[in-house]
Amino acid sequence: MASRSGKAADPGANRMGDGPRGPGRPESDPYYVMYEDRHIMLVVKRAGFLSESAEDAALRKAAVGGSMAGGLMPGGAAPIAPAAPAGGSGGPTVQSHAMKVGLARAPLAAPGKEDAEGLGGDAFAYPVITHRLDRNTGGLMALAKTAGALECLIDYGRAGMLTKGYKCVVLGCPNPPSGTLVGWLFKDARKSEVYVYRERRAHASRIETAYETEGYAVGADLSVLRVTITSGRTHQIRAHLAAAGHPILGDGRYGEYARNKALKADGQMLSSTSLTFGAGLGGALGYLSGKAFVSDVDYMGLIMGKA
């Protein structure tokens, strides 16, 4: 079930919807739109789909004039429109579907002229992702439709003013039931795997993962946790919880194969459930100050059924 708290004070809110805004969208679509205005689009990604392929990433970077970390179009120039969405051999992705839908809506405005949304050269040809979720993780993602929105989302994240909330099912019962895990994460790009250490290591990044236990199923020895991070590293939540002795149920990389098999885990039990904007924000997305967007999942009902 998806819900959101608060309406954006933007007159263009929900003006360009991608069909039905709910779980009723075809299962072949990698996401459904939860909220949209003229600057941003919040979608609920379905587990099993990539956020983007390598081909998508190349097109996205060209469209915004650089990398996700700092690629805004110089001088307000109009974005570059790719010939067609990519997606790669693995099927549609969040980014390729956003490209497809965005390019089908309206042709790109000429430099210096306003497009149908009245945004002129600030508007991208299609929404671009601003962060990624693993293939097997579902839930909320934010996409930027304008250069101003992209800049804001990046700046808010760096300043700790955009909090990402997750929910997951883990093995065991954390003690204490709530707290903040601190560690150092090293990414082995060749293996596409990360390692978490308690002490500082060379080439490792400091990470913090806050958690709170929502419930515990004694019979199954499983807990539901709410997890929050202000900035995420590759596989941070999965690897950090596993290093703490509480791997995520169904995680094929950092989890416990025997327990996953015994409990007949149907996929990785991790979902992005909330995006919360801090108070007093400036910039193009200042109207979202204090707003929280929530797409919850009933993991407690699931684990009680396994108890």
Query: Which regions of 57-204 does DSSP assign to beta strands (E)?
Result: 123-129, 138-146, 162-171, 178-188, 193-197
Helices (H) and strands (E) in the chain, counts: 6, 12
156, 281 contact by CB (below 8 A): yes
Residue 266 annotated in active site: no
Strand partners, 142: 42
- Annotated active-site residue in 115, 134, 188, 266: 134
Is the N-terminal amide bond of 177 cis, ω within 30° of 0?
no
Nearest CA to 232 out of 295, 162, 145, 174 is that of 162
Q: Would you call 72 helix, strand, or coil by DSSP?
A: coil
Q: Would you call 299 helix, strand, or coil by DSSP?
A: helix
Residues 161 and 178: their CA atoms lie apart, in Å, by 22
Helix, strand, coil share of the chain (percent; to 5) = 20, 30, 50
CA distances in angstroms from 92 to 76, 170, 207, listed in the order given: 30, 29, 31
30, 137 contact by CB (below 8 A): no
Residues 149 and 227: their CA atoms lie apart, in Å, by 25
* Catalytically active residues, by annotation: 134
